Amino acid sequence: MNVSASRLLIALALIANNSNADTQVDPKLALQMLNDQNQLFEQQVVQVSENVFTAVGFHGANTSMIVGTDGVIIVDTLRGPTSASNAFNALRQYSDKPVKAIIYTHSHGDHTGGASVFAGSDNPAIYAMKKFGTATGAGRALAPIMALRGVRQFGRKLPPHEVTNRGLAPANTIDHDGGNGYLPPTVGVTSDGLIATIAGVHIELHAGPGETDDALFVWLPEEKVLFAGDNFYQAFPNLYAIRGTPYRNVLNWSDSVAAMADLEPEHVVPGHTMPIIGSVAATGALSDYSEAIRSVYEQTVSGINLGKSPDLISHEVELPAHLKDKPYLIEFYGTVPHAVRAIYAGLLGWYDGNPATLNPLHPKAEAQQMARLAGGTKRLSKKMRRALKDGDFQWALELADHLKWLDDGDRQLAREIKIKALRGLAAREYNAPNRNYYLSYANELESGQLSEVWF
Ligand SMILES: [Zn+2]
């Protein structure tokens, strides 16, 4: 079965299996889905159109080569020189003309760190948005926690038997030289965009804020190829990343993808995953994607205005029925409930408007009250074990988190239950970041390397 037929079957199975839009399914189905998703980043060069070649699967992201009359243009450069050099060697089978330009679709390291390999001694112009780099500047003070949560989201330390993928990227990538080939941009693109002829190729760069504020997309009007950067790929968009990110402007994201669809491309090259070939599929995917993002935003805003909390709205918002069976909207990477919470916090901050949550009890005081309510710490402990046995893993986790605060609680037992419950949730999970996070955390707990704060 080809990739899209198998993805369509999976989408249909999900609709039958999972009406309330979470990402927990039967463990066998979860694993099959993640294995099928691997086909979207198997290592290969795809000829997208007469003069466009995309190297998929040489690292997490894609790098593309546009062949012109007397040179080539490179769109994105992967994370580091080793992966860039592997991809460039493969692309060089199709043209050995000098590199006249490099374009960064945005400033994330998996798109910029291998530039020096492509530049070689050709001294190409390097195009990016004028505000390039604004996406990565804020993180220095948070480096310790970003590193810890990033490792979990991407499953970087998982043993082989727990590895699946990263949703949009293979599980294993060459990362030791990340960023070593980075070259700064030499041409800044304003929000009005830029039209140029490079190596005889007419090319348009359009501002496209979304995943990052410094994103652009690339349009080749003659071959009708669109390079979307990370505002489009074949999975529900990561409107929020659980490794921790500032608010990603969701409305801008939807608008940028709508602007791509308006160009009616014949082919779309995503920042990650396989290109989509053919005008109906390419334009349709972009317009569906934009609509899905906007719908999640609008449903969230309408819930907010009714005074609902993010906890509640995140359980209510769903993709519109006609978008649920779209393979490129399956929640392999981003999820709808996480997007809802991000939109809520991005627009209104942490407070849900309920006076009961203005000044909640200290977690220890709450745990003591819960134990009293349960009829004592021992009974609470029993309920926790029962929840695990019943496969009610989320509830088991929540009870374990209460138990850890209780002076007369069995901390060791709570920890063991938590580890098992995390593995239970992971087995059913087809969202790769969630699955990787659950498994990584379980392993950290088991190895005893986590501080008391994490329990
Ligand atoms: Zn990326």
User: Looking at the structure, do residues 156 and 23 belong to the same domain, yes or no?
Assistant: yes
User: Within this chain, do residues 229 and 365 fall inside the same structural domain, yes or no?
Assistant: no
Distance 106 CA to ligand 1 centre (A): 8
How far from 242 is each of 16, 152, 154, 181, CA to CA, in Å? 27, 9, 10, 27
Give the span between the Cα atoms of 70 and 97, in whole angstroms: 6
Q: How far is the CA of 5 from the centre of ligand 1 (A)?
A: 26
Q: Let me know if residue 416 belongs to a domain.
A: yes
User: Do 271 and 377 sit in the same domain of this protein?
Assistant: no
What is the Cα–Cα distance from 253 to 232, expressed in whole angstroms?
Answer: 9
CATH number for the domain including 419? Answer: 1.25.40.880
Task: Give yes or no: residues 396 and 270 share one domain.
Answer: no
Please give the distance, rounded to the nearest whole angstrom, from the Cα atom of residue 281 to the centre of ligand 1. 22
**Residue 166 shares a structural domain with residue 269:** yes
Report helix angle 411-428 to 27-37, nearest 10: 60
Separation of CA 209 and ligand 1 centre (Å): 14
Q: Do 60 and 175 belong to one domain?
A: yes
Q: Give me ligand 1 centre to Cα 164, in Å.
A: 18
309: in domain? no
Nearest Cα to Cα of residue 391 among 11, 3, 6, 24: 24
CB atoms under 10 Å from CB of 207, counted, come to 21
Q: For residue 110, report the distance from its CA to the centre of ligand 1, in Å.
A: 5
pLDDT at res. 19: 43
CATH of the domain at 102: 3.60.15.30
Alpha-carbon distance values, 45 to 18, 219, 270, 274, 287 (Å): 36, 20, 14, 10, 26
Phi, psi of 334 (to 5 degrees): -80, 165
Nearest to 74 by CA among 84, 64, 82: 64
How far is ligand 1, taken at its centre, from the CA of residue 245, in Å?
14
Tell me whether residue 151 is in a domain.
Answer: yes
Ligand 1 center to residue 153 CA distance, Å? 14
End-to-end CA distance of the chain: 45
Range of the domain at 94: 3-235+263-275
Q: What torsion do the CA atoms of 54, 55, 61, 65 make, to the nearest 10 degrees?
A: -50
Distance 107 CA to ligand 1 centre (A): 9
Contact by Cβ (8 Å): 211, 110: no
Instruction: From first to last of the 455 residues of the chain, give the pLDDT tens digit.
Output: 556 666 666 666 665 554 444 899 999 999 999 999 999 999 999 999 999 999 999 999 999 999 999 999 999 999 999 999 999 999 999 999 999 999 999 999 999 999 999 999 999 999 999 999 876 555 678 989 999 999 999 999 999 999 999 999 999 899 999 999 999 999 999 999 999 999 999 999 999 999 999 999 999 999 999 999 999 999 999 999 999 999 999 999 999 999 999 999 999 999 999 999 999 999 999 999 999 999 999 999 999 999 999 999 999 999 999 999 999 999 999 999 999 999 999 999 999 999 999 999 999 999 999 999 999 999 999 999 999 999 999 999 999 999 999 999 999 999 999 999 999 999 999 999 999 999 999 999 999 888 777 77
Residues 134 and 14 in one domain: yes
Give the residue from 227, 247, 275 where a domain finishes: 275
Same domain, 83 and 200: yes
The rounded Å distance from CA 203 to ligand 1 centre is 22
Chosen domain end from 226, 254, 275: 275
**Residue 42 and residue 21: Cα distance in Å, rounded?**
28
Sign of CA dihedral 327, 229, 278, 1: negative
Please tell me the distance between residue 94's alpha carbon and the centre of ligand 1 in angstroms. 25
Dist. CA 443 → ligand 1 center (Å): 27
> Encoding tokens for residue 124?
């190409």
**In this structure, is residue 344 part of a structural domain?**
no
pLDDT of residue 15: 54
Coil, helix or strand at residue 174: coil
Model pLDDT, residue 355: 97
Tokens of 444: 């950290």
Cα-to-centroid distance, 303 and ligand 1 (Å): 31
Last residue within a domain, chosen from 217, 243, 275? 275
| Residue 148 within any structural domain of the chain | yes
Instruction: Say whether both 67 and 194 belong to one domain.
Output: yes
Judgement on whether residues 271 and 388 belong to the same structural domain of the protein: no
10 Å Cβ neighbour count for 149? 18
Query: Cα of 49 to ligand 1 centre, how many Å?
Result: 23
**How far is residue 131 CA from its own chain's centroid?**
22
Nearest to 58 by CA among 47, 71, 46, 50: 46
Residue type, 377: T
Residues 223 and 371 placed together within one structural domain of the fold? no
For residue 90, how far is its CA from the centre of ligand 1 (angstroms)?
A: 20
Q: How far is the CA of 368 from the centre of ligand 1 (A)?
A: 45
State in Å: Cα 229 to ligand 1 middle.
Answer: 7
The domain total for the chain is 2
* Centroid of ligand 1 to alpha carbon of 292 (angstroms): 20
Q: Is residue 240 part of a domain?
A: no
- Tokens 């810890």 belong to 148
Is the same domain home to 380 and 270? Answer: no
Q: For position 20, what pLDDT does the model report?
A: 46
Cα(387) to ligand 1 centroid in Å equals 38
Four-residue CA torsion sign, 342, 343, 346, 348? negative
* pTM for the model: 0.94
Q: Given strand 267-270, what is the order of strands in its sheet?
A: 194-198, 201-207, 216-220, 225-229, 267-270, 276-277
